[in-house]
Structure 1
Amino acid sequence: MIRKMKTLSGLFLLLLFLLFVAGCSGNKTSSEAEKGKEIELKDPEDVGYPDEITYWTELVPNVAATSKSLNDVAAYLELEKITGTKVEFKHPSGEGSDITEQFNLMVASGKLPDVIEYNWRTVPNGPDQAIEAGTIIRLNELIKQYAPNLTNYLNENPEVKKMVTTDDGNIYTFPFLRGDESLMVFLGMIIRQDWLDKLNLEMPTTISEWEEVLTAIKNGDPNGNGKADEIPLMVQLNDFKYIGAFVGGYGIHAQFYNDNGTVKYGSIQPEFKDFLTTMNSWYEKGLLDPDFSAVDSKLMDAKVTNDQLGSFFGFSGGGIGKYTGLMKEKNPDFKLIPAPNPSLNEGEKAATGHLEHAYSGMHSAAISGSAENPEEIVKWLDFAYSEEGHMLFNFGVEGESYEMVDGNPIYTEKITKNPDGLPMTQALGKYIRASYGGPLIQDKRYLEQYYELPEQKDAVKIWGESAENHINMPPTTLNVEESEEFNSIMSDLNTYYDETVIRFIMGDEPLDNFDEFVDTLKGMGIERAIELQQAALDRYMER
């Protein structure tokens, strides 16, 4: 009942959001709708930094562990000294769907802060509609006039410029960009090496080998407490739904994917039934965590640090690095290592694994239509793309969080051996933003130090090389009409999908009903949604 009420609440807020966008769009003149908001371009020499701005963004757990607001983070304290700009950060509470609901409610209210950091690429009705509605503003001319640092980067990296521009030609955010290929793989399967050693097991590489290993973990008491309290595997719904954990072994992606230029939806393929059959079997055998459908970050932390969880889908930094640090004193033998993306057959690669593009849309900053001084805000945001800003947001404050050694920024022991015992990921959160994103260009030299453990460095190679990855969709955008139709289809479809897939895995829905599940998805419009994604992919390839 609680889940149903929350779903209805989310749908109500989404409806409010869509009605607000439609209403704003209908009240605009054609010229206003084309540009979103008429802005008189001033001489750049006459534009300074703003005195004050309001800024809405998520406060991620690794920052929230030590700071009440980004105002407490050293990079922003230093930025205020440099620019003189005071920032009032507004942070939504909770995680995931909670943040989405608060975002929708804020937009529907029309009471907008100056800067909103969100994934505007996938916002309901798309970024072009948000511009037409005046919710956010088109940035092309403003960036060209007042953001020389971002302009230079985009001109030097045309493939990235293609990613951050809609099919209508609009640039809509100051993007979070991954500045090197080594930064684009950071999620995958993680397993307890010490438990493998204790049980005399080899690293699993296929689905069948994984079942053997998980069974041994369940029955072998690897934590040595004499209790059958081990949890062999944690894979959450979104891990395989959006990223492909285990699904790639069956030759598909669970959602929309690119099969040599043809868009397909993996969950209506027969291979998805095979995947669900395996997950259901593992759930019934006690190999998959019974909390998989409802676990949050705190519960996940507890399962790992209570020495119960044998394997999970997680981050190289916030998973391997974080938990190794937290367990160092509690269990010196505790060791996490990356596992290859599992395939169905020996010697094969998984069809897909985690692979980000240089730009995905996450953690990027748009300027709202309510901002009174957009040119000044553009100049302020552009500072992060300058050399000085790049160093600040990737490494923090020289002399405190890093020192220059032979021309390279090297983190100090405040980061690497924090005197308060903070894991490196939380120590970094006190100083920088590169560890989780923001309107900036992430530097690989951050990663080379953040991945202090050899297992973290191995993860990039192991996860990257054990998956084909070519089937992942590029960062396409739907146009206004397509986005409206697509979201109309997917809002109800996703609710039905999530509930039914969980029921399949838990055994509450017989797998004999899989064909009925596919027929229902088709009846709800999944084939039309595929057509819309195909049109977006075709346009993206022609940009």
Structure 2
Amino acid sequence: MHKRKSIMLLSVIMTIALAGCSGGNNSAKSPATASPGTETAEALADGKIVSSPLTLTYFVEMSGSPAPGVKSLNDMAAYQETEKKTGIHIDFKHPAGGQEKNQFNLLMSSGDYPDVIQWGWNDYPGGGVGAMNNGVIIPLNDYIDKFAPNLSKLLADNPAIKKEISTDDGRIFAFPFLRSDPYLRTYFGLGVRQDWLDKLNLQMPTTIDEWHNVLTAFKEGDPNGNGKADEIPLLIRKDTMLNFSNVFLNAWGTSGRFNLKDGKVLYGPVQPEYKQFLQTMRTWYVEGLIDRDYAGTDDKQKDAKWTGELLGSSEMAVGGGIGKYTNAMKAKNPDFNLVGAPYPTLVKGDKPVLGQLEPIFNSVGAAITKNNKHVEETVKWLDYKYGEEGSMLFNFGIEGKSYEMKDGFPTYTDEIMKNPDGLSFATALGRYAVPFGGPLVQDKRYQEQNASLPQQKDALNTWMNVENSNWLPPLSFTNDESARLAAIMTDITTFRDEMFDKFVMGAEPIDNFDSFVKTIEGMGLQEALEIQQAAYERYLKR
């Protein structure tokens, strides 16, 4: 009897153990059926994700100025190393330069999606929410929980980041590009010729009135020393003035788009402060302080004006402005000194209200499409970039080639910092790594070297000294809200842009501002404000 009982008890224990093992195997699989050739990470001792070759298709833009020989991201060392590490090959689909938006739209309408699409999803109707609701891409929460330990830990340790990348209903639609460090979120502002200020015995301007005095002196004082009245005191690109950081409009505490005031969403161009801003720009234009060709100046023309010693000030990025022009002028004019100027205020000593502040997540991310048959493997492959090894690889490249560790700091080599072929920092680094976009966490140590000049470091600290509490965070809209908002704001934005030029150039008197406001209100502004306010209140409840 005792012997039989022992045998029965052993049988029960074995049955329970086998059932437990079966349940454990099931829980290790993705919500979808695991693909043939897929094994758990523990099973692949070499660290590979797959035990047999796997190719995934991936739609993504190339960087603006790829290095010679880099025709695809597969030519980049970071992706080559990732393929060796994971066993997964990527078939990159790059849209033609200048045709990115058109080719993305064609891809969306075709229904024939690649496995992964990396995009700024705010450009899709309804954003990432719309793309999920339309069945283009899939929600990733369950997959991240099961198969993305690096991103899972990041989100668990940083609730603010999880809030930013989630929709109002808690879904995550992409592996995000993240600028989590405040140092990385500001990179744009006003640049001014410090050597011109010094030559004319001028102090750095901090208020609108002081800027008027400085611009007048630039116009009349011949700071470039050629004996001609050819100086252009200020160039502000129209698209920047209206849509980006509004480097002067911010002095009035508003913007050219939607922003917050006391928790309420407002549209800047219909506020009384916007009229005061327009009047100031009109005065400066009449006095010849603003470039007469501001509305039609492109990047190449702007570059020519800076390197031609014609410009005294303009809006610019820390790398593509201060860094680019300083390096370009080293040999031509050793005295050339371009520095960052504070965002202006109306009252001396006040802290600027609004500057340029990139969100932690700007909607750029890698989303997995409904057509992907290898979701588990794709998630693991994308998650690699959020771990220590992948992060180093995609922020700094290959140790011994693109960077070296010096006292624990990943220091870019001379091939990157002083490229013998004359390549810019970003282009030279683009052979090895891509820390300026894509699914990863941008490393602060990248920007500290990208902005390595004293003028660049000082500019970043100057531009960061802004309140910035009245910017709207990235919001999520329903499909219906997105459609209505697009329909309303397309007309409003077109009218705003047309009238801006008319007001500044004098074709429309500033006294007609009230009529301008009524026209915008008649285009459905109130409904747009209600949509924005509702989305903002949902954001607060995330």
Alignment TM-score, normalising by the size of structure 1: 0.87
Provide closer, same or farther for how the CA distance between residues 136 and 507 of structure 1 changes in structure 2, counting only shifts above 3 A: farther
Aligned to 2:17: none
Shift of 1:156: 0.8
Aligned to 1:275: 277
Aligned to 2:219: 218
Shift of 1:512: 2.4
Aligned to 1:449: 449
Asked if 1:497 corresponds to 2:496, the answer is: yes
Provide closer, same or farther for how the CA distance between residues 200 and 60 of structure 1 changes in structure 2, counting only shifts above 3 A: farther
Asked if 1:311 corresponds to 2:297, the answer is: no
Aligned to 1:359: 361
Which whole-Å deviations, capped at 9, do the CAs of 1:468-512 have from their partners, x for residues lacking one? 211011122112222222122112222222222233223333322
Provide closer, same or farther for how the CA distance between residues 187 and 45 of structure 1 changes in structure 2, counting only shifts above 3 A: same
Which whole-Å deviations, capped at 9, do the CAs of 1:212-257 have from their partners, x for residues lacking one? 2122222333223333332222222332323231111012122111
Aligned to 2:467: 468
Aligned to 2:16: none
Query: What does 1:36-185 align with in structure 2 at a 5 Å threshold?
Result: 40-42=32-34, 45-46=39-40, 48=49, 51-63=54-66, 67-94=70-97, 99-121=100-122, 123-185=124-186
* Alpha carbons 2:190, 2:247 under 8 Å: kept: yes
* Alpha carbons 2:67, 2:431 under 8 Å: kept: no
1:390 aligned partner, one-letter code:
S
Shift of 1:292: 2.6
Provide closer, same or farther for how the CA distance between residues 303 and 81 of structure 1 changes in structure 2, counting only shifts above 3 A: farther
Provide closer, same or farther for how the CA distance between residues 233 and 368 of structure 1 changes in structure 2, counting only shifts above 3 A: farther
Aligned to 1:332: 334
* Alpha carbons 1:250, 1:350 under 8 Å: kept: no
- CA distance in 2: counterparts of 1:368 and 1:493, whole angstroms: 33
Choose 316-325 or 500-509, whichever is displaced more: 500-509
* Alpha carbons 1:122, 1:477 under 8 Å: kept: no
- SS of 2:530's partner is helix
Provide closer, same or farther for how the CA distance between residues 372 and 519 of structure 1 changes in structure 2, counting only shifts above 3 A: same
* Alpha carbons 1:401, 1:411 under 8 Å: kept: yes
Aligned to 2:25: none
* Alpha carbons 2:67, 2:428 under 8 Å: kept: no
Shift of 1:417: 1.6
Aligned to 1:482: 481
- SS of 1:200's partner is coil
- CA distance in 2: counterparts of 1:419 and 1:232, whole angstroms: 35
Aligned to 1:517: 516
Identity of aligned residues (%): 50
1:418 aligned partner, one-letter code:
N
Where do 5+ consecutive residues of structure 1 fail to align? 1-37
- CA distance in 1: counterparts of 2:79 and 2:508, whole angstroms: 50
- CA distance in 2: counterparts of 1:373 and 1:308, whole angstroms: 56
Choose 271-280 or 283-292, whichever is displaced more: 283-292
- CA distance in 2: counterparts of 1:180 and 1:281, whole angstroms: 39
- CA distance in 2: counterparts of 1:39 and 1:494, whole angstroms: 44
- CA distance in 1: counterparts of 2:69 and 2:223, whole angstroms: 33
* Alpha carbons 2:181, 2:444 under 8 Å: kept: yes
- CA distance in 2: counterparts of 1:58 and 1:68, whole angstroms: 11
Aligned to 1:252: 254
- SS of 2:311's partner is coil
Shift of 1:416: 1.7
Shift of 1:141: 1.4
Aligned to 2:352: 350
* Alpha carbons 2:166, 2:172 under 8 Å: kept: yes
1:448 aligned partner, one-letter code:
E
Aligned to 1:440: 440
Provide closer, same or farther for how the CA distance between residues 504 and 261 of structure 1 changes in structure 2, counting only shifts above 3 A: same
* Alpha carbons 2:249, 2:277 under 8 Å: kept: yes
Shift of 1:163: 0.6
- CA distance in 2: counterparts of 1:128 and 1:296, whole angstroms: 34
Where do 5+ consecutive residues of structure 2 fail to align? 1-29, 42-48
Choose 200-209 or 325-334, whichever is displaced more: 325-334
Provide closer, same or farther for how the CA distance between residues 60 and 235 of structure 1 changes in structure 2, counting only shifts above 3 A: farther
- CA distance in 2: counterparts of 1:369 and 1:77, whole angstroms: 26
Choose 382-391 or 405-414, whichever is displaced more: 405-414
Shift of 1:41: 4.9
Asked if 1:262 corresponds to 2:254, the answer is: no
RMSD: 2.3
* Alpha carbons 1:249, 1:349 under 8 Å: kept: no
Provide closer, same or farther for how the CA distance between residues 157 and 380 of structure 1 changes in structure 2, counting only shifts above 3 A: same
Shift of 1:64: 6.2
- SS of 1:286's partner is coil
- SS of 1:175's partner is strand
Which whole-Å deviations, capped at 9, do the CAs of 1:79-122 have from their partners, x for residues lacking one? 23323433333333455xx6434433332233333322222145
- Tell me how many residue pairs correspond in the alignment: 501
- CA distance in 2: counterparts of 1:258 and 1:66, whole angstroms: 46
- CA distance in 1: counterparts of 2:497 and 2:316, whole angstroms: 20
